[in-house]
Amino acid sequence: MIVRRVLLITALLILSFLIVSGVQLNVEHLEYLRDEFLIGTQAFTGYWIYTDRQPDGSFKLAGAEGEGVTCIDDVARVAIFYLREIERSGMDDFFDSRARESLEFVMKLQDYDGDFFNFVFEDGTINRHGPTSRKGGNWWAARAYWALSLGARIYSEYDASYSEKLAASAHRAFRVLNSFVRNGLLHGYTDMTSVMLLGASEYAQLHPETSVLDFIDASARALAERLVRAPGMLYGLFDEGKEEFNWNGWGSREIESLVAAYEVTGEVTFLETAIEAANTSIPMLLSIGPVYRISRNVLLYEQIAYAVEVHVNGLYRLFNVTGEEIYGIMASFLNSWFLGVNHLRVPMVGPNGEGYDGLERTHRNLNAGAESTISMLLSFQAVQKLPEEIRGYSDERNHLRTPGYVIEAETMDFGLSPARILRDGSVSGGALAEFSDTVLMRKDLLLPGVDYEVHVSLFRCTVEGEIEFSIRYGNDRGIERVQVGPDRIVRIGEITGSGEQARISISARIPSGNVIEIDQLVLIPAVVGVYSEMKDSTILFNRSLEKKSDIQGPGFAVTDGDILLVASEDDRTEAVYLELLGREGFLHAIIDPLLNNKGMALPEERRHANFDNFGGVIGASYPQAEVERLLKDGLLYVNEIPFMISFGEKDNFRLTGQRIELFVEASKICFLGSSEQGDYEEYVELLYEDGTIHTITLGLSDWCGISRFGEKIAASLPFRYDSAGNVERIQCRLYVQCYNIPR
């Protein structure tokens, strides 16, 4: 007799985690990446660039096509990781061997003039001409210089001759890099300069040469000059662009390098700049996650380990110098991203120390290459050095209570305003909203009870001067005149959240004959709140210059309890009951209540379907007519299993954590679908009415790829429609996955 009759299905991933307290280091996967590589005719130890996750959960080592199989960029990071372990724990044979072999690899790729090549091909040939490998005082040269300089300082206590060997190599590297420095900046970029500055700060502690000290002073001052100090979401970021503002989440080590420069020179302004940047930019990143890039718009995804690690280490260094616990707490909270404190609530670390390659809007990239794994380890290493009370804030039970929002303008309600949606492949979401005469954008949002700064991402803007923007949210209203212009993020005002869902409305009058193109609406909390379930306290970070939430800004406060709790989308997700239809010996779940997307299009509607662009309204789609040709009596048969296909305004549902309730006795469950933007798998929980839980791994391959998880091909179609509605001769597929239900 079967008693487990009620079946609940959830697409949320729940994993048991092997990393105790969130900070133990696990180098098992890093060791898997480690290998011997020929460079010329001699073997050196390096690390494979990529590992591709296989359907059975194992990994396959891989190189970067056209670039190589191992590189300085990764091996230098490994050297830094093990050198820091020696500094923290003392000399150890394992740490020593791993650090030395990595440093030897780095020195092997140094050319006669002191510059570096980056990649090595599988046949042992050095990649001398590729744009990501050739000489030119580039990223990999700066990173090599940092590793060599750190190695020279660390080994000065244990092996003087080896220290001098490393120092000599670092000295040659500095001369090359310094030849590309103008006005204190390496190639004119602040992020690249910050890496070189870290190397110079290490080298100067051992050999305080005048040229190195002069560079440290000039580059630190140049970084300080590029700090954005205007109110808004950009406050506290370093402008890394040349012609227009640009900031990359990855590579931005300005905070860490300014603290290092202060430690060498004693120049207080360097430390003060790092403090100002941390107080204002880090809470913003806590609110929206480790974004990939901010320029004239916000590129939220993909989120990568590298973009977490650089800030965690900067904050640790700031804590270590100032003793201010706020920076240790910030570092711990940021590190929690790896443990699942992210928008999908999924861990970005595997059970064997894998650092997963990326977090997208709807899914994880479960490949685990060298950069991601080493960046994760460097981040955990920094948190592990914090006092126990502070590193306890690095915990999977943290909850962000004041999320920021990046909303594609084309997804908003324009009311009766004369607005048009324009397709543009260069903007976020592939489209933007064009307004003439009047701006009007509306959307329902649930904002907690703190102040939010409101921004718009402007592209084309023919207005010269100021425009008056009006912002309404519930009963709150604000009016502000702001200077506008093209290709920039503009702060247009501030509103106060209510803790309840309400409509936000943005409006403005545009001078006659002018147009404004808006790509995104961006809301950033002025006060960021994170609840620590383990400590039962809420930490509030005021990133503004004003007093808010009784906190003088910039500053922070710790309060007891979960004071900003509101009903989140997850909390309000109720189980959806699906009716069943018996047909040909099978039970079909009627999924109409779940449909939330249109992914198939007829020729006349192909510009309006959107299968593969979750954040926007315009995307590529399946050709509906081609699917219809495969149906028999309205059903799609796959290995004699009939599937009902929905056509209409909505025809599929994207997995976003839905809970599905079925009253059924069955031996097997089958899914018809596919993934977009790659091959992905996640855990699906089957919850029975007696409390039993059974977990299956649902893997669906990319809709324009091949079956990688053992799925059956349900439909193979000769083309798809691209986001502009054009026919693309790319074969696209639907897949079927079936799983036995245990009795």
Buried b (16+ CB within 10 A) or exposed e, 370-397: bbbbbbbbbbbbbbbbbeeebbbbbbbe
Tell me, yes or no, whether 359 lies in a domain.
Answer: yes
Tell me, yes or no, whether 148 lies in a domain.
Answer: no
Around Cβ 527, how many Cβ atoms within 10 Å?
A: 26
302 prior amide bond cis, ω within 30: yes
Of residues 4 and 224, more confidently modeled = 224
What's the whole-number average pLDDT of the chain? 90
Q: Which of 534, 560, 586 is the last residue of a domain?
A: 560
Q: Which of 515, 532, 560 is the last residue of a domain?
A: 560
Decide if pLDDT at 14 tops 80. Answer: no
Residue 424's pLDDT band (cuts 50, 70, 90)? confident
Residues 83-104, mean pLDDT to the nearest whole number? 96
Of residues 213 and 251, more confidently modeled = 213
Spatial CB neighbours of 166, under 8 Å, sequence gap ≥ 6: 103, 107, 148, 149, 151, 152, 155
Spatial CB neighbours of 629, under 8 Å, sequence gap ≥ 6: none
When mean pLDDT is compared across 105-109, 205-209, 484-488, the lowest value belongs to 484-488
Tokens of 503: 């409509």
SS3 346: coil
Tell me, yes or no, whether 501 lies in a domain.
Answer: yes
The pLDDT value given to residue 9:
34
CA–CA separation, 277 vs 229, rounded Å? Answer: 9
Tokens of 721: 């429609």
The total number of residues shown for the chain amounts to: 743
The pLDDT value given to residue 87:
96
Q: What is the secondary structure of 656-684 as a DSSP string?
A: SS-EEEEE---SEEEEEE-BSSS-EEEEE
Question: Are both 373 and 331 inside the same structural domain?
Answer: yes
Residues 513-520, mean pLDDT to the nearest whole number? 93
Decide if pLDDT at 7 tops 70. Answer: no
Question: Are both 456 and 600 inside the same structural domain?
Answer: no
Residue 8's pLDDT band (cuts 50, 70, 90)? very low
Question: Are both 390 and 249 inside the same structural domain?
Answer: yes
The CATH number that applies at residue 433 is 2.60.120.260
CA–CA separation, 343 vs 599, rounded Å? Answer: 24
Residues 141-166, mean pLDDT to the nearest whole number? 98
Tokens of 424: 């543009």
When mean pLDDT is compared across 132-146, 413-427, 449-463, 678-692, the lowest value belongs to 678-692
Per the CB < 8 A criterion, the answer to whether 15 and 682 are in contact is no
Residues 659-679, mean pLDDT to the nearest whole number? 85
Residues 77-87, mean pLDDT to the nearest whole number? 97
Total domains, the chain? 3
The pLDDT value given to residue 17:
28
CA–CA separation, 273 vs 259, rounded Å? Answer: 9
Tokens of 362: 């709807």
Q: Which helix (H) or strand (E) holds 553?
A: none
pLDDT tens-digit profile of 181-196?
999 999 999 999 999 9
Q: Which of 399, 420, 450 is the last residue of a domain?
A: 399
CA–CA separation, 17 vs 22, rounded Å? Answer: 9
484, β-bridge pairs: 465
Question: Are both 357 and 484 inside the same structural domain?
Answer: no
Tokens of 406: 């990046």
Tell me, yes or no, whether 10 lies in a domain.
Answer: no
Tokens of 693: 């839980």
Sign of CA dihedral 43, 48, 54, 57: positive
When mean pLDDT is compared across 389-403, 442-456, 686-700, the lowest value belongs to 686-700
Tell me, yes or no, whether 181 lies in a domain.
Answer: no
The pLDDT value given to residue 10:
33
The pLDDT value given to residue 11:
31
The pLDDT value given to residue 18:
29
Of the segments 15-19, 151-155, 606-610, 651-655, which one has the largest average pLDDT value? 151-155
Closest Cα to residue 724, out of 615, 621, 625? 621
The pLDDT value given to residue 607:
73
Per the CB < 8 A criterion, the answer to whether 126 and 62 are in contact is no
Question: What is the DSSP-derived secondary structure letter of residue 42?
Answer: E
Residues 504-525, mean pLDDT to the nearest whole number? 94
Question: Are both 552 and 645 inside the same structural domain?
Answer: no
Per the CB < 8 A criterion, the answer to whether 173 and 186 are in contact is no
The pLDDT value given to residue 567:
59
Tell me, yes or no, whether 129 lies in a domain.
Answer: no
Per cent of the chain over pLDDT 90 is: 67
CA–CA separation, 149 vs 139, rounded Å? Answer: 15
Residues 38-44, mean pLDDT to the nearest whole number? 91
Question: Are both 380 and 421 inside the same structural domain?
Answer: no
When mean pLDDT is compared across 160-174, 465-479, 508-522, 659-673, the lowest value belongs to 659-673
Tell me, yes or no, whether 372 lies in a domain.
Answer: yes
Question: Are both 520 and 668 inside the same structural domain?
Answer: no
Question: Are both 315 and 385 inside the same structural domain?
Answer: yes
Question: Are both 653 and 541 inside the same structural domain?
Answer: no
Question: Are both 680 and 710 inside the same structural domain?
Answer: yes
At position 604, the amino acid (one-letter code) is E
Question: Are both 409 and 348 inside the same structural domain?
Answer: no
Residues 63-85, mean pLDDT to the nearest whole number? 97
Tokens 């009870």, residue located: 449
CA–CA separation, 642 vs 427, rounded Å? Answer: 41
Spatial CB neighbours of 598, under 8 Å, sequence gap ≥ 6: 608, 609, 610, 611, 621, 649, 650, 651, 652
Residues 454-459, mean pLDDT to the nearest whole number? 94
pTM score, whole prediction = 0.86
CA–CA separation, 680 vs 364, rounded Å? Answer: 7
Domain range enclosing 648: 576-740
Of the segments 143-147, 296-300, 494-498, 590-594, which one has the largest average pLDDT value? 143-147
In 179-230, where does DSSP find H-type helix?
190-206, 210-225
The CATH number that applies at residue 246 is 1.50.10
Question: Are both 250 and 381 inside the same structural domain?
Answer: yes
Tell me, yes or no, whether 97 lies in a domain.
Answer: yes
